[in-house]
Amino acid sequence: MIGTFKQKNPGNAFVLLVYALVLKFSIFIHPVIPSLHTEDNYLYRIILNFLGSFFNAVPIAYSILTFLLLFTQATLFNRICNYQKLFPKANFLPGMSYILVTSLLPSWNYFSAPLLINSVMIWVFYKMTSLYNSSKSDAAIFNIGVMTGIVTLLYLPAMAFILLVFFALLTMRAFRIREWLMGLLGFTTPYYFLFIILYLTNQWSWKNVVPQILFRLPGIPSSIWITCGIFLLVVPFMIGGYFVQANLNKMLIQVRKIWSLLLLFLLVGVIIILINHVNFYENWILTAVPFAAFHAAAYYYSTDKILPQVMHWLTFAFILWMNYLA
C-alpha cells in the first residue's frame, strides 16, 4: 500500500477513496448526531441548527457529511503538499496519512466545529505557504486574517490561531509592521460584523463579546483504545520528524520554511487543546494536518522497506479492530 500511494498515479485518487471507505465505514454503521459544547461559538450553532432542520435528526446524514469533509480535506491537503513540493516527488502519501491519522481517535469522525475548522485551516495553510513568493502580500495576509477570525466564530478556543498567523509572517516573510497590522485587522473584521449583529438584535453584552479562556491540562485517557491511538499518532510523527531533519539540507529554502510552519501549526493546535479543556477529543483533530505531514514523511523517506510497511499495517489493523471488533 505504501508503494502504491508513493507514486503519482491518477488512479490513486480512486484507491484513496476506497481506502477511506474501508477505514471509516464504521461511521455509517454507528452514526452519531452532533451535540453542542460550551466552546462552540455563534457560527457553528447557526450551522448546527440549520443542519438539524434540514436533516430532520437523521444520524446517517451527519455521517455522510463527515466522510465527505474528511475525504475532501485529505485530497486538498495532498494537492497542497504536491504543489508546494513538500516531497522530492509528487505522491499520495499525505492524503493517505490524513485518512489514517483521523481514524485513530473515534471522536475525530464525528461532525463537530473543529472538523469544519480543519477545512478552513487547510486552505489558510496553503495561503500561508504561498506568502514566501507573494507579490501582493497585503491582500493575501488580510484574507488569511479574515478566515482565521471566522474559525473563531465556529469554535472559541480557535482564537489561538492568531498566533499561527503571526508565526507564518515571521517564518515566511521579512518583518514588516504593516503586514502584521494587516493580519490583525483581517482577524478582527468578522468580529466587527458580529458586534453590529449583536447590537441590532439587542444581544449586546460583555459576556457575549469577551471570551472566558482557561488553560487546563488534558486528563489521563480512560480507555486503552485512546491510549493506543495516541501512541500510534506520536511514534510515526517522531520518526517522520527525524527523517525531515535528516533531509533538510536537500530541500529548498521555501520547503524548509513550510516544514517549520507545520511544527508551529502543531504547537498552536496543542495550545487550543489546553484552552477550556473538557473530557472529549474532538478538538484534538486540529493537530491532524501537521501530524499527517510528518507521518507521510516517515513513510516517504524511510530507506528500510520493512519499517514503513509494519508501521502502516499495524496502524491499519488497530483502526479496523477498534472500529469493528472492539
Q: Does residue 272 surpass a pLDDT of 70? A: yes
pLDDT at 103: 92
Q: How confident is the model at residue 294 (pLDDT cuts 50, 70, 90)?
A: very high
One-letter amino acid at 71 equals F
**What confidence score (pLDDT) does residue 32 get?**
83
Per-residue pLDDT averaged across 264-290, rounded? 85
Report the pLDDT averaged over residues 294-321. 89
Q: How far is CA 77 from the centre of its chain?
A: 9
pLDDT higher than 70, residue 40: yes
Cβ proximity of 143 and 128 under 8 Å: no
Round to whole Å and give the CA distance between 125 and 118. 10
Nearest to 4 by CA among 96, 107, 121: 96
Is 207 a residue whose pLDDT tops 70?
A: no
The whole-number pLDDT of residue 118 equals: 94
What is the per-residue pLDDT across 12-25, written as a single tens digit (0 to 9) for each? 888 899 999 999 98
| pLDDT value for 133 | 77
Which of these, 115, 124, 153, lies nearest to 280 by C-alpha position? 115
pLDDT tens-digit series, residues 44-101: 888 888 888 877 778 888 999 999 999 999 999 999 999 998 998 989 999 999 999 9
Is 322's pLDDT higher than 90?
no
Q: Average pLDDT, stretch 164-177?
A: 89
Question: How much is the pLDDT for 278?
Answer: 61
Per-residue confidence band for 135, with pLDDT thresholds at 50, 70 and 90? confident
- Asked whether the predicted pLDDT for residue 286 surpasses 80, the reply is yes
pLDDT surpassing 80 at residue 326: no
pTM for the model stands at: 0.91
Cα 126 versus chain centre, distance: 12
Instruction: Find residue 215's DSSP bridge partners.
Output: 275
Q: Which residue in the block uniquely carries the three cell numbers 506520536?
A: 234
Q: How far apart are CA 297 and CA 239, in angstroms?
A: 8
pLDDT at 208 over 80: no
| pLDDT over 70 at 267, yes or no | yes
Cell of 130: 504561498
| Beta bridge pairs of residue 275 | 215
Average pLDDT, the chain: 86
* Predicted local distance difference test score (pLDDT) of residue 215: 63
How much is the pLDDT for 121? 93
Domain-wise residue ranges, the chain: 2-325
At residue 306, the pLDDT reads 85
pLDDT at residue 238 greater than cutoff 90: yes
pLDDT value at residue 323: 82
pLDDT at 66: 93
Give residue 147's pLDDT. Answer: 94
Closest to 70 measured CA to CA, from 50, 96, 31: 96
Model pLDDT, residue 273: 86
The rounded percent of the chain whose pLDDT value lies above 70 is 93
